[in-house]
Amino acid sequence: MSIAYWCILIAAVLPLVWVGFAKSAAPGYNNKDPRGWVAKQDAYRVRNAYNAHLNAFEAFPTFAAGVLMAQFAGVDPGHVSLLAIAFISFRVLHGVFYLASFALMRSLVWMGGFACSIGLMVLAALKLGAV
């Protein structure tokens, strides 16, 4: 199960990776007003990296809940690890595709990551006989 826990940690740190790209993509970053600075940027790389940052925060709770639900339900650790690693892979690709402005690919890998989170929850519910 430790692999899935490491994946939770990676997912928690990913938003910081993407915001690092946003902050370094244009000069004059102002830590006193980071959101105001982002709002004034015309560079698509800043906007895309910042949006990847926000989306990574949005995806985190569902994933973390899915891993914890699966663990508490006693789902096979191999299945949990596989879905957790797949989630992280999808989320890294999501950020890369966001930075590269590949909207279709970004949406597809977003769906893959979301499916992993939902899959973890469904496995937990099935294990406990909730369905």
Reported CATH class of domain 2-127 = mainly alpha
Is 125 a residue whose pLDDT tops 60? yes
What is the pLDDT of the chain when averaged over all its residues?
91
10-54 pLDDT tens trace: 999 999 999 888 888 777 777 788 778 777 777 777 888 889 999
Query: Could you tell me how many residues make up the chain?
Result: 131
Is 1 a residue whose pLDDT tops 60? no
Q: Which is it for the CA torsion 70, 5, 17, 65, positive or negative?
A: positive
Q: Are 19 and 49 a contacting pair, CB within 8 Å?
A: yes
Give CA–CA dist 14/47, Å, rounded.
Answer: 16
Give CA–CA dist 14/48, Å, rounded.
Answer: 14
53-75 pLDDT tens trace: 999 999 999 999 999 999 999 99
Q: Which of 23, 28, 31 is nearest to 49 (CA)?
A: 23
